[in-house]
Structure 1
């Protein structure tokens, strides 16, 4: 019996609202204990313990909730068919109220909102599912979002942050997010040229160099703000390498969405490290030898020196005008 058993996915939308995407078969969904663990981002042993308690307490009837399905799985590098226990939508909901995880919390928030709406109105409706004729729109929307990120002109590391924010369990306050936000820019810089963002600024800014050592900026001269941005000190080869790293990250994101494989915060954090080490690059450990403040202090010192020895465009205009007037005056005195 290799029949369809439905799908369910709990995720956060762009605006942080919890959504549930469900594809039902015969008005229910059947998941194994491992799939239930993956759904709520917990351990299989934790799921098993809760299932035992649910049946022991009489919350659900085991005969009506459990069914065996023949499932093909890979064991020792070969496909093996086994009869595995699957649990229906009733069990999925019951587990959502017992498991302690970020995803389970999001499920409870979603379910409470639906229950509140039902108690107030006597009915509850999922407008998005009605628009999409029964759901299944998550991965289509995700693919469009990834392609929008690729087409954007955002700084490379910000594109990586945007992809990270597509995690099904995305929570900006989670410890995984805090660590990712702190290190993502430095990890990419370090993989490209062996220095953190602060280190590359500190070691390359120099009032004696042309344009203070900056390789890219707008206008005739770099501004103080531009001098504080690490990417502006990178040469063409380094920028190309940085673009290739981010492109690989986006390619993987697109493939996962096309294959309808949900990605968690941990998945994305781990995959960034995989991409950075794939070509033999060193992975950043620690926070580097130069603090952000130390780099900024040096930039401000060098910028003052640079300004003192560099003429502004209006000063150049002034001197050119004075010089041309002097030539005219000297020329006039010769003819008099």
Structure 2
């Protein structure tokens, strides 16, 4: 976990967490979480303690201690699971905007069966267009759905990796070409 983290909250309530490394989760210090939801550190600390004591998330896999230069004590970093759980417990304007965005996004995913992250599509537009073209081609040829799954498993795995931020752009270019 040696990556830089930039955090801000979009106007629609979405939390934007940008990192300079590949990881399956995002890590933030308590200070970062205080900034995200605009609450006092003691409030965030109580919520984290409650989340862990309720066993909402596993403490071992969702907390990491890191030694920071010029600091006597290690700094505890919390996973995205804890950040999200705090967002659902915290009462601030930023937390409310986050919950509204999260509920809208989850509702869309449940009712439509998918969600689209426009920012990620914009960044890897060619991979997205290739996947759409592949699906259109299959639809034209009336291919059996089992054949679709078998033929385009790599594409879908790439899209999943893309959604989770695990896809390297060079890997994607090689597979498409």
TM-score by length of 2: 0.63
Larger-Rg structure: 1
Q: 2:96 aligns with which of 97, 101, 105?
A: 105
* CA positional deviation for 1:11: 2.4
CA distance in 1, matches of 2:25, 2:57: 15
CA distance in 1, matches of 2:67, 2:17: 22
1:233-286 Cα deviation digits (max 9, x unpaired):
xxxxxxxxxxxxxxxxxxxxxxxxxxxxxxxxxxxxxxxxxxxxxxxxxxxxxx
CA distance in 1, matches of 2:24, 2:4: 10
1:182-226 Cα deviation digits (max 9, x unpaired):
xxxxxxxxxxxxxxxxxxxxxxxxxxxxxxxxxxxxxxxxxxxxx
Alignment of 1:71 with 2:68, yes or no, is yes
Unaligned runs of 5+ in 2: 126-177
Alignment of 1:57 with 2:64, yes or no, is no
Mapping 1:264-275, distance limit 5 Å: none
Instruction: Tell whether the 8 Å contact from 1:5 to 1:30 is kept in structure 2 after alignment.
Output: no
Mapping 1:1-336, distance limit 5 Å: 3-12=2-11, 17-24=12-19, 25=21, 26-72=23-69, 79-80=70-71, 82-133=73-124
* CA positional deviation for 1:133: 4.2
CA distance in 1, matches of 2:72, 2:116: 40
CA distance in 1, matches of 2:49, 2:71: 27
* CA positional deviation for 1:5: 5.0
Instruction: Tell whether the 8 Å contact from 1:7 to 1:29 is kept in structure 2 after alignment.
Output: no
SS in structure 2 opposite 1:80? coil
SS in structure 1 opposite 2:90? coil
CA distance in 2, matches of 1:4, 1:71: 13
* CA positional deviation for 1:107: 0.6
Counterpart position of 2:129: none
RMSD: 2.0
* CA positional deviation for 1:129: 2.7
TM-score by length of 1: 0.34
